[in-house]
Amino acid sequence: MSGLELQGAGGGEGRKKTPSTDILGPAGVIWWLWLVLTIGVTGLYFALSSPWSDLVYSTVGALSVCLIVAGVRFIHPSKAVAWYLIAAGHAMTVLADIVYYLYEPILGSAPPYPSFIDAIYLAMYPLTVAGLLLLVRSRSPGRDRPALVDALIMATAGALLAWVFLIAPYATDAALKLPEKIVSMAYPCMDVLLLAVAARLVAGAGFRGLSYRMLVSSFVLTLIANAAYGAMILAGSYNPGSLIDGLWLFAYGLVAAAALHPSMRRLSDVASTTYTKLTRGRLTALAIASLTAPATLGIQAAMGQPIEAPVFVGSCVVLFMLVLMRTWGLVREVETKANHLEKQGHALASSLDQRDALENQLKHLAFHDALTGVANRALFDDRLQHAVARSNRSKESLAILFLDLDGFKSVNDELGHAAGDAVLVEVARRLQRCLRSTDTLARFGGDEFAILIEGDGAGDPTAGKLRMEMAIGEPFVVGPEAVQIGASIGIAVSPSGGTDAVELLAAADAAMYEAKDPRRTRV
């Protein structure tokens, strides 16, 4: 009965969340009880003879339809219409089975072929495919070209096999009338369509819970049973009650179980990304599908069957183009990721450069005066500590000059702090010109400066002191004004100035106060 082949198209989707209470509640119990019952009834089916086996078969099918509807009503998936379409398609198969079983007992003769029963069987396909397409669309609302190409590769391979082993024998059978040919070829053609949509569901991204796995398993069982049934019909070896009927019967149960499982809520959730990893299993399936044409050609040649070159050439061309599209998509994907990583690398490098620059800036600010740019008290103290330690070891002279500007306060009072800041910057610049690169100039704050001299210049720092006084004594031009200030400089030389940094600095400070001599500030 070729109409039995479509019943496995049912599937499960889901809403937003799956509370743990559902798993322990009625839905969480019913799905596995139904699945266990289906396994037991499938075994019972083979133990019974007609008409009892037919009654069992039809009852399981009818209950499956009812349970799909009950699952939708109880679990409330977001795409309920998809499930109702699947249930409607499922109901068409069950209705056709029941009519087929009752036709001969009621009318006294076997149903003709083709008949209205075949129309009922075939009506299941568009309903089921529509439901599955809604599920696919809800899971991947955007474009998912890789999944579409993968599904088309699988469908093309399935179409070639269906044509060679199922469709072509009917098309070339001169004993069949045209209506018989059309209906006989319609079943495998619809199976190819079902395969394409199911493959698209599998190839796309999205939640893959137990409901999803049971739904996909029902497709696998249904398509295997359909292909085997078609081949056995052509060979004249099919008998009711065979293993094929058991596959269809168990697929009935899987569809209903998928609809009853709580995870069917999430089956229609939008995937967080359209990206699907090219796993080893998927790559193997695509490789097998791509090799279908040459493998089928070899089988036909080995069996001595006539070979339809146009069919194989066309299939190879289509498969080659699809594989080329898939390869091109992978290359584009790799290029996109590489460009993204390159941009991230540049951004990271820029961030690291900025971090290093900021770190250097912070280090500089931590040890340098923000206004004049010379060393601050912290850096001066550190260098003084090291210089004293070196002086104590080498017995070389070490000198500190402590400088305080005379008349600077009046510059601030009369010309403002901006003018005072300008004078301090110029003072630091002039002092720096009087020193060697190995000397350290520091601003202690306000108008106080300190100079650390090591080596040859430390023995007699008086010459340096005179240069500094002369440099400071030159007028300072501040806007339209020219101001003149002086400097009081105290000198301390190690070891006479002290044996450690604190004593040496204190001696220089004391010497500076002794040298203090107020001067005029305005020229």
pLDDT over 70, % of the chain:
91
State both tokens at 48. 């019974």
CB 166 within 8 A of CB 339: no
pLDDT score of 345: 84
Top-confidence residue, 486 or 331: 486
Q: Classify residue 176 by its DSSP letter.
A: S
Residue 21 has a pLDDT of 37
Q: In this predicted structure, what is the pLDDT of residue 20?
A: 38
- Helix (H) / strand (E) containing 323: helix 309-367
Mean pLDDT within 81-89:
93
Q: From residue 101, give the alpha-carbon distance in Å to each of 50, 56, 63, 146, 226.
A: 10, 12, 17, 44, 19
Q: Tens of pLDDT along 447-486? A: 999 999 987 767 678 888 889 999 999 999 988 888 999 9
The reported pLDDT for the residue numbered 496 is: 58
- Which structure tokens are listed for 477? 């031009």
d(CA 482, CA 160): 100
What mean pLDDT do residues 219-230 have?
90
In sequence order, what are the residues at sequence separation of 6 or more whose Cβ sits closer than 8 angstroms to the Cβ of residue 273?
205
* Spatial separation of the C-alpha atoms in residues 367 and 379, rounded to whole Å: 5
Which of the four pLDDT bands, split at 50, 70 and 90, describes residue 521? very low
Burial category of 503 from C-beta neighbours within 10 Å (exposed 0-12, middle 13-18, buried 19 and up): middle
Give the least confident one: 70-79, 120-129, 139-148, 414-423: 139-148
Residue 309's pLDDT band (boundaries 50, 70, 90)? confident
Q: What would the DSSP string read from start to end of 482-518?
A: EE--EEEEEEEEETTT-SSHHHHHHHHHHHHHHT---
pLDDT score of 14 more than 70:
no
Instruction: Give the burial string for 243-258 (b: 16+ CB within 10 Å, else e).
Output: ebbbbbbbbbbbbbbb
pLDDT 10s digits, 354-375? 888 888 888 888 889 999 999 9
Domains of the chain: 2-144+204-274 (no CATH), 377-514 (3.30.70.270)
Separation of alpha carbons 167 and 161, rounded Å: 9
The pLDDT of residue 261 is above 60: yes
C-alpha 399 chain-centroid distance: 65
Cis (ω within 30 of 0) for the bond into 51? yes
